[in-house]
Structures are given as structure tokens and as C-alpha cells.
């Protein structure tokens, strides 16, 4: 049961209670809490909201920058009518490490801050009374887990996170926590694969996993509540006579109902919403349901004022309304899998997602935009370190968890398996091959795989691009390189590199997963200077000219949707300002540039 990542649903056989709210909280800089018995009760605790990041809740810098152990605690009630069921607690995420205790007994642990896990607590909870839930967590960064970084100990003994990535190391219980009661024999997973027949029918090939031996029956129900297909067996095919397909920005969802049956008795029931669609690469283009699609959209972050990376549904709704307003149809979950609610909203709104595992910071550098591609000359190359085997184990586990969680979403069209790693030597290729092969093995739909290629990794030196089903480029000609008055020179250099990619792409499409320029929402200047809104517009127009000049460019996802928080530094003024929208979700001038372009580009542009 521990590894079932099905989204919590209330059905005829399942019960779900939210544990979100104010929890007790305490920093543990000396890592003394476990020895002192804090798992059974936190002394002198603070009160913090769950879900949220803890960093921006306080007014002191020590709390915002805190690195090390910390504790969460709450009480929960298990009703007596749940007796005889399997009792679980499900965490949407816990960043980055967590040990979970119920009534003082450790029940599970998890490493990785962006994917869910659950704890079976049936044998440790008390019925019809209050139970205590405690988490010992840690947000230190290392080279053996993703996202990568280091943890320094300062002269006064304080720990300090040193991320090898350019976003703030938000931490805490940042996604919902659910108390669940399931039947002893239950559904643990399901998968779907779609085929479109020449006669207009659609076929849904499914597989269901359970923890028992009883039979399984499946029903598919349309938006009007009508059952359109049925089948029995843990593997089989649902035939839909007149399917309504899930299309980009025109979503149609069916409800799939899975039941474990014993004659007429229902042992367990699970429901989810799915969209019938196919996605593949054909003749160098992305094809959704057999027709070409040009990707228009963003790299994004789960990031907002005060709540940090904590799930916030009003902000989520606003973000999708802004993406619809601007004419976008896609985004990349840079640089980690997002909360599940994001994917369900994308399913409903018809957005396409490139789903990215948290493999960012795979180089020993705090300036990835400048010096990451080959690694520092006086340090071992990233994929040749003693820590590499342990890192690979964790990387693959995160890939497994991501695909297991997200594989049935119609919005998810591709997997991004690394962001801006070192790629210029043979050890990187050997590492990449294992991750790419593992992702292909896990995904029943065999979605295309890619990784975001850093600017210094050019077509003549990149040793890993050949593993990609499509090429994803992060490029900043005109910002980090050849900027300001040199913008025309940047365009010429950009075009030369694109000609190089055309020689090695072997018919594969190319998309831009990052391009952008930092911009102050308050700065206007004529003639333009860097950081002004005028310069951002000129920079974008130059990029558009290059994109439009090459037919093999099949998508553009600007960096970034909105300004976001980073660590302190001389190239960051209270965060990264490349947003097309400000951090409070108001448009910069560039938003209107994109709105004009994207609302006029047809969905099958360059198809």
C-alpha cells in the first residue's frame, strides 16, 4: 500500500479527511528533538499553516533562511466506524526529507520533496479518540539527491543551503495532507493507453493493480452521466463507439470507475477523470489526435508571495486564467513535478504539460547560466563523482514516482528528465541512458522524452542530445550573452547555432523551453536599456524572428510565467524578474506582445 500514489478520492468504499490547517512547528538546529522525545510532543511550538512553505511566514531572516531539521505536529481523530479498514496518511509532498511518527511510533520515511507518499497507520492509531501525527523534516541540499546543491556550516555553527539552482529552496509541508480509510482489499493503481480506430471508434487499453485476487470491473461514463463502455478483468480494453476526444484548449473528460467485485458485492471502488487522446511525434511535428500542434506557453514555478511553494488554489486559478488570456496552450513543470491539483486543472482546461522530474542543479556551480556546461576545471566532472551512483538511484526513484503519479493525465504529453546538466563527456551519456531507458520502461503510453539543454551545450559538443525524442533548448542570446547594444550580433549568433542543430536533429522537432530577459515592471526607458520593459520587448521580437525562420522549431515556452523568488545574489534583485507577469500576477508590457502573437498563431502553426 505504501507505494500507491492514486489521488485521494471519496467513493462508496473510501473515506478521505483533510488534515490541512494550523499545525504546531519547531526548528531543531541542534538535531536534538528525536533524542529528547519530540516525536511524542513538541515543546514551545509555534503555529503554522499547512500547506505552505515556512520561509516567508516570519519576519526574521533566521527563519527564512533556516537550513536543517525542523518538526511539524498535529492531532487527528479516527472514527470508530473505520474499524476493519486500512488507515493511511497521505502527504502530497514533504520537502525534502521526512520521518513520520504516529503516537510516537515511526511509521514511514521519504526522501524527495516534490512527490507524494503515504504511511499505513492501521496498527498504531487509536479508534474514537485523538491521535498525534509528527514529522521530523530536513531541507538540507546535497549531491546525492535532486534538486542538487550543498549545505555549508558557517563560522557561528548555523547551516546554510547552497543550491546549484536558481530558485529559492522553499521547504515544509507544501501540499495537502489526507487521512484515508480504504478497504483491506483495494485498488492500488491503474494505467490507460489510447488507440483511435479508422472507423471512428476509440479503444482504451487498461491495466488495474490490486492487493487481492478478486475480479475487477471497469465502466467509462461520459460528461452526461451515460455509461459508454464496460469491461471486466484486471487487463482489457474499453471500446468507445462515438468518442469525444480530448483536444488542446478544448478538453472533454470521461469518468473511469474501477470496482473490485465479488459477485454483486463491491469490495472497493475508485473513480478518476481521463481524456481520450493520442500524442506522438510524426514527421518532425507534435501530433495530438493525428493533427499537428505548436506549443505556446511557459516555464513556470510553484511560487507566490507569503505561501512560497505551498499549494494555493486561488493563485492556481488566476494562473490558468492568465495563461488562457495570453493565448498559451502548454507549460513545463520547471523544475519539479507540481501539485496534483495543477494537473487536474490542466486536464479540465486542455493545457499540454511537459512534466519535469526535479533533476536540476546537476553541476557544481551557483551560476548555471554562465559556467555550468562543462563543470569547473578544478573539480571532478559531475557524473564522474563518488556520489554519482547514489544520485542515480534517487533520480530514478523520482522518475518512478512522477510517472506513477502522472501517467493517466491527458494533459501530460512528455517527460523532461533533467534540466541544464553537464552533457559534454561520455560519463554523462552513460548516466543519461539509464534514466531515459527507465522512463521508457515505466510509461505505458511511451510519451516522448527530453531534457532542457543548457546554452553552453551546443550541437557540436553535446553528447546526450541524441537520447531525446525531441530537442529542448534553454537559450539566452541577447540576455546572458551578447546583450544590450549587441542584440543584432546575438541574433546572428543565434541563427548560426540553429543551423548547427538542424544538422544533428535527424528529423526531430526542436522547442525552446527557456528564453527570456529580466525586466523591472517599473522601468521604462527610450532608447531601451537592459532591465527595461522596452528591452524585454525588443529581445522577444528578436527571438520570434529566429523561431519563425526555422520550420523545425515546433514550440516556444518563455522563461518565466511570473517573477519568482530566488536566493540572495548580485544578479538577482529580490528574485528572478524574467516573468511575463509580475509575482502578484499583473501583466508587464511583454504580456501584450505575447497575447498578440499567440492568439494569432494557429494551433497547427508550421504543421
For the stretch 114-170, pLDDT in tens is 999 999 999 999 999 999 999 999 999 999 999 999 999 999 999 999 999 999 999
Instruction: Check: CB of residue 435 under 8 Å from CB of residue 415.
Output: no
Catalytic annotation on 420? yes
Instruction: Check: CB of residue 206 under 8 Å from CB of residue 236.
Output: yes
Give the domain-ending residue among 133, 167, 182: 182
Which residues are CB-contacts of 26 (< 8 A; sequence separation ≥ 6)?
Answer: 33, 38, 42, 43, 44, 45, 46, 70, 71
Q: How many domains does the chain have?
A: 3
| Residue position matching grid coordinates 515543546 | 43
Tens of pLDDT along 217-237? 999 999 999 999 999 999 999
Same domain for 88 and 150, yes or no, is yes
Residue from 559, 552, 545, 554 nearest 487 by CA? 545
Domain that holds residue 219: 187-276
Q: Residue 176 sits in a domain of what CATH number?
A: 2.60.120.260
Same domain for 311 and 401, yes or no, is yes
Instruction: Check: CB of residue 228 under 8 Å from CB of residue 241.
Output: yes
Give pLDDT, residue 1.
45
Give pLDDT, residue 380.
65
Give pLDDT, residue 315.
97
pTM of this prediction? Answer: 0.95
Give pLDDT, residue 572.
86
Q: Residue 332 sits in a domain of what CATH number?
A: 3.20.20.80
Same domain for 479 and 507, yes or no, is yes
Task: Answer yes or no: is 2 within a domain.
Answer: no
Cα distance between residue 256 and residue 94, in whole Å: 29
3-state secondary structure 10-46: CCCCCEEEECCEEEEEEEECCCCCCCCCHHHCCCCCE
Give pLDDT, residue 436.
98
Cα distance between residue 575 and residue 64, in whole Å: 14
Same domain for 305 and 220, yes or no, is no
Cα distance between residue 25 and residue 47, in whole Å: 6
Task: Answer yes or no: is 140 within a domain.
Answer: yes
Residues of the chain with pLDDT under 50: 1, 368-377
What's the whole-number average pLDDT of the chain?
95
Same domain for 199 and 255, yes or no, is yes
Instruction: Check: CB of residue 359 under 8 Å from CB of residue 418.
Output: yes
Task: Answer yes or no: is 530 within a domain.
Answer: no
Give pLDDT, residue 381.
85
| End-to-end Cα spacing for the chain | 45
Instruction: Check: CB of residue 383 under 8 Å from CB of residue 430.
Output: yes
Phi, psi of 166 (to 5 degrees): -105, 55
User: Exposure string (b/e) for 488-512, b if CB count within 10 Å is 16 or more?
Assistant: eebbeebeebbeebeeebeebbbbb
Same domain for 293 and 363, yes or no, is yes
Give pLDDT, residue 429.
95
Same domain for 390 and 508, yes or no, is yes
Task: Answer yes or no: is 10 within a domain.
Answer: no
Same domain for 510 and 450, yes or no, is yes
Give the domain-ending residue among 276, 292, 325: 276
Tens of pLDDT along 362-395? 987 655 444 433 444 455 688 999 999 999 999 9
Task: Answer yes or no: is 588 within a domain.
Answer: no
Share of the chain above pLDDT 90, in %: 93
Same domain for 98 and 233, yes or no, is no
Same domain for 138 and 255, yes or no, is no
Give the domain-ending residue among 221, 252, 276: 276
Give pLDDT, residue 364.
76
Residue 108: Cβ within 10 Å count: 18
Task: Answer yes or no: is 584 within a domain.
Answer: no
The catalytic position among 420, 422, 491, 556 is 420
- C-alpha cell of residue 406: 502522472
Catalytic annotation on 541? no
Task: Answer yes or no: is 443 within a domain.
Answer: yes
The catalytic position among 302, 401, 491, 514 is 514
Which residues are CB-contacts of 472 (< 8 A; sequence separation ≥ 6)?
Answer: 354, 416, 450, 451, 452, 453, 510, 511, 512, 513
Same domain for 175 and 145, yes or no, is yes
Which residues are CB-contacts of 233 (< 8 A; sequence separation ≥ 6)?
Answer: 215, 216
Q: Residue 236 sits in a domain of what CATH number?
A: 2.60.40.10
Same domain for 362 and 244, yes or no, is no
Which residues are CB-contacts of 79 (< 8 A; sequence separation ≥ 6)?
Answer: 127, 128
Q: Give the helix ranges, DSSP H, for 42-165.
A: 61-64
Amino acid at each position: 500500500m505504501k507505494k500507491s500514489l492514486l489521488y485521494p478520492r471519496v467513493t462508496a468504499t473510501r473515506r478521505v479527511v483533510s488534515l490541512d490547517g494550523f499545525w504546531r512547528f519547531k526548528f531543531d538546529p541542534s538535531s536534538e528533538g528525536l533524542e529528547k522525545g519530540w516525536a511524542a510532543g513538541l515543546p514551545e511550538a509555534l503555529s503554522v499553516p499547512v500547506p505552505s512553505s515556512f520561509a516567508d511566514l516570519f519576519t526574521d531572516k533566521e527563519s527564512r533562511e533556516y537550513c536543517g531539521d525542523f518538526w511539524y505536529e498535529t492531532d487527528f481523530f479516527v472514527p470508530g466506524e473505520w474499524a476493519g479498514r486500512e488507515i493511511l496518511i497521505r502527504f502530497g509532498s514533504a520537502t525534502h526529507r521526512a520521518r513520520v511518527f504516529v503516537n510516537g511510533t515511526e511509521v514511514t520515511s521519504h526522501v524527495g520533496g516534490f512527490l507524494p507518499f503515504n504511511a499505513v497507520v492501521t496498527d498504531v492509531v487509536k479508534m474514537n479518540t485523538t491521535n498525534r501525527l509528527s514529522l521530523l523534516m530536513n531541507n538540507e541540499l546535497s549531491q546525492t539527491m535532486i534538486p542538487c546543491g550543498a549545505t555549508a556550516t558557517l563560522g557561528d555553527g548555523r547551516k546554510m543551503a547552497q543550491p546549484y539552482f536558481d530558485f529559492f529552496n522553499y521547504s515544509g509541508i507544501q501540499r495537502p495532507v489526507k487521512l484515508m480509510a480504504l478497504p483491506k482489499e483495494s485498488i492500488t493503481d491503474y494505467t490507460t493507453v489510447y488507440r483511435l480506430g479508422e472507423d471512428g471508434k476509440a479503444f482504451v487499453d487498461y491495466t488495474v493493480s490490486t492487493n487481492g485476487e478478486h475480479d475487477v470491473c471497469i465502466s467509462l461514463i461520459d460528461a452526461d452521466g451515460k455509461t459508454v463502455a464496460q469491461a471486466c478483468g484486471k487487463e482489457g480494453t474499453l471500446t468507445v463507439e462515438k468518442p469525444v476526444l480530448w483536444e488542446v484548449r478544448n478538453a472533454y473528460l470521461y469518468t473511469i470507475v474501477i470496482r473490485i467485485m465479488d459477485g454483486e458485492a463491491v469490495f472497493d471502488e475508485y473513480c478518476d477523470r481521463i481524456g481520450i487522446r493520442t500524442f506522438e511525434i510524426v514527421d518532425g511535428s507534435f501530433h495530438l489526435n493525428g493533427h499537428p500542434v505548436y506549443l505556446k506557453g511557459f516555464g513556470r514555478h510553484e511560487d507566490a508571495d507569503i505561501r512560497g511553494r505551498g499549494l494555493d488554489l486561488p493563485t492556481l486559478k488566476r494562473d490558468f486564467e492568465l495563461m488562457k488570456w495570453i493565448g498559451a496552450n502548454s507549460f513545463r513543470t520547471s523544475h519539479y513535478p507540481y501539485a496534483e491539483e495543477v494537473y487536474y486543472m490542466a486536464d479540465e482546461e486542455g493545457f499540454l504539460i511537459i512534466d519535469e522530474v526535479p533533476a536540476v542543479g546537476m553541476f557544481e556551480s551557483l551560476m548555471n547560466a554562465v559556467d555550468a556546461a562543462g563543470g569547473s576545471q578544478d573539480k571532478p566532472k559531475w557524473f564522474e563523482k563518488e556520489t554519482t551512483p547514489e544520485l542515480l538511484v534517487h533520480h530514478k526513484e523520482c522518475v518512478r514516482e512522477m510517472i506513477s503519479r502522472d501517467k493517466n493525465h491527458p494533459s501530460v504529453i512528455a517527460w523532461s528528465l533533467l534540466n541544464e546538466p553537464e552533457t559534454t563527456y561520455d560519463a554523462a551519456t552513460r548516466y543519461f541512458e539509464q534514466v531515459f531507458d527507465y522512463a521508457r520502461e515505466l510509461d505505458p503510453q511511451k510519451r516522448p522524452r527530453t531534457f532542457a539543454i543548457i546554452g553552453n551545450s551546443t550541437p557540436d559538443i553535446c553528447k546526450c542530445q541524441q537520447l531525446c525524442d525531441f530537442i529542448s533548448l534553454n537559450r539566452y542570446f541577447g540576455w546572458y550573452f551578447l546583450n544590450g547594444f549587441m542584440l543584432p550580433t546575438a541574433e546572428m549568433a543565434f541563427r548560426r547555432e540553429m543551423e548547427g542543430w538542424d544538422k544533428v536533429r535527424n528529423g526531430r522537432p526542436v522547442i525552446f523551453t527557456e528564453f527570456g530577459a529580466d525586466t523591472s515592471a517599473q522601468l521604462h526607458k527610450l532608447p531601451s536599456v537592459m532591465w527595461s520593459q522596452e528591452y524585454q520587448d525588443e529581445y522577444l521580437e528578436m527571438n520570434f524572428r529566429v523561431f519563425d525562420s526555422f520550420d523545425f522549431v515546433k514550440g516556444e515556452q518563455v522563461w518565466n510565467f511570473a517573477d519568482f523568488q530566488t536566493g540572495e545574489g548580485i544578479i538577482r534583485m529580490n528574485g528572478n524578474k524574467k516573468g511575463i507577469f509580475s509575482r502578484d500576477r499583473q501583466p508587464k508590457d511583454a504580456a501584450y506582445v505575447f497575447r498578440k502573437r499567440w492568439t494569432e498563431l494557429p494551433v497547427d502553426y508550421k504543421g
